Amino acid sequence: MKLSTKGRYGIKAMVDLATEYESGEKLSIAQLSERQGISYAYLEQLIALLKKAGLVKAARGAQGGYTLAKTPENISVGEVLKALEGSTALVECVGTDGTDCENVCSCAARPLWLKLQRRIDDVLDSTTIKDMAEDYIIQKERLNS
């Protein structure tokens, strides 16, 4: 029941990108990895997933880098996690892809998993990258004062 570093690192990178969204500045993998303390080569892979999911845009070549593909308030945390982890489902049988386990009707635990999943998705879908970026900026200011 653990969230992997993929999800955690990816979220951090997205939040960092969000702080530059207004200015339109790009951030390179090198910058992101330095600022967030994530291994360069590993982060590269995570960003590739985010790009494939249409959450970030890349500019190739020298002076290139990444920007968010949408406004931060239009990117939910759930979307990001889904891109990185494949799914936010706690158990396969309550995933959004409609795959049900063979004994849906007789599974004692299914109602519990459904309830749990609904609560989780509530939070993930209602929290945006913008929300997180705002918290992040406030935190950074507090540290500097």
Partner DNA sequence: ATATATCCGAGTAAACCGCTCGGAATTATT
Partner DNA sequence: AATAATTCCGAGCGGTTTACTCGGATATAT
Residues of the shown chain interacting with a copy of itself in the complex, contacts defined by CB under 8 A: 1-4, 7-8, 11-12, 15-16, 37, 77, 81, 85, 87-92, 103, 105-109, 111-113, 115-116, 119-120, 122-124, 127, 132-133, 135-136, 139-140, 142-143
Interacting partner of 64 out of DNA, a copy of itself, none (Cβ under 5 to 8 A depending on kind): DNA
Q: How far is the CB of 129 from a copy of itself (least distance, A)?
A: 10
Q: How far is the CB of 14 from a copy of itself (least distance, A)?
A: 9
From residue 89, give the alpha-carbon distance in Å to each of 31, 67, 73, 92: 32, 28, 23, 6
Q: How far is the CB of 97 from DNA (least distance, A)?
A: 15
Could you give the CA distance from residue 41 to residue 29 in angstroms, rounded to a whole number? 9
Could you give the CA distance from residue 90 to residue 118 in angstroms, rounded to a whole number? 10
Q: Compare residues 52 and 118 and give the one whose CB is closer to a copy of itself.
A: 118
Q: How far is the CB of 144 from DNA (least distance, A)?
A: 25
Interacting partner of 106 out of a copy of itself, DNA, none (Cβ under 5 to 8 A depending on kind): a copy of itself
